[in-house]
Chain A
């Protein structure tokens, strides 16, 4: 059971959260001009990072907010969590 820092509520236990997959995958908002390749990227292609990974969580049994986190997939330790719309730069952390 991990401890996850909700950017709104603070450190809370994992059962309150739902995992939300890779972060910063923007939805193409113009269907008319979205290419097949852009759609493929958006719908299906995700990184499988070994190490620091930007991912989404939702504090579903708490404040209900989606937020982003940087977690080391090899250790399960979080480097940081941040609100939707933010994007802290960290050395060694990919897109």
Chain B
């Protein structure tokens, strides 16, 4: 039989939206000892400050809760990364769960990105209140989203897979005003 093909939700590129490729995505949960140990295996410090992300090259660690981090890495790192984390963590209590397919990532970008997200996200996204490097779970309309500001006018956004069309369609609907 032929190989199964990986099929991601279609996100048409617009000046404000950009699909991101599939990536290695791990949910890391554990106490401070475990986060510190994981950082050694991951090569990126897992932030201890709330709602902050650390990115080194293509790898990033995002604080999601006091015992939870989202680890992102290129798809090709997957196997090696699992080994490195297991070695670094040893017997330190923790949980690592592969959520590479659970979420879909894309960028909301451009000078109107903040405004566009404001059509459905009730957070204050002003640079002063939500600076570059800040990340959090929050909501966009009726969907939960993961939001990470990677530059003044670039947000890395993730949704659970089945919510992606809803969020993307809502953003495209709201962005109609930006066409002119």
Contacts and interface: CB of A to CB of B under 8 A. Distances in A.
Direct A/B contact, Cβ within 8 angstroms: yes
B122 A13 contact: yes
Nearest to B63: A63
B144 interface: yes
A8 B65 contact: yes
A40 interface: no
A61 B144 contact: yes
Query: Binding site of A, secondary structure by majority: helix, strand, loop or mixed?
Result: loop
B29 to A, nearest CB: 10
B92 to A, nearest CB: 21
A13 B136 CA distance: 13
Contacts of B144: 61
B159 to A, nearest CB: 12
Interface residues of B, number: 13
A37 to B, nearest CB: 36
A13 B65 contact: no
Contact of A63 (B65, B122, B123, B139): B65
Contact of A61 (B51, B66, B138): B138
A62 to B, nearest CB: 5
Contacts of B137: 16, 61-64
Interface in A31-72: 61-65
* Shortest Cβ-Cβ A-B pairs, 9 listed: A63-B65, A13-B122, A64-B65, A61-B139, A15-B139, A8-B50, A61-B144, A9-B50, A62-B137
Interface of B: 50-51, 64-66, 68, 122-123, 136-139, 144
Given A13-B123, A62-B138, 17 more contacts: A8-B50, A8-B65, A8-B66, A9-B50, A9-B136, A12-B123, A13-B122, A15-B122, A15-B139, A16-B137, A61-B138, A61-B144, A62-B65, A63-B64, A63-B136, A63-B137, A64-B137
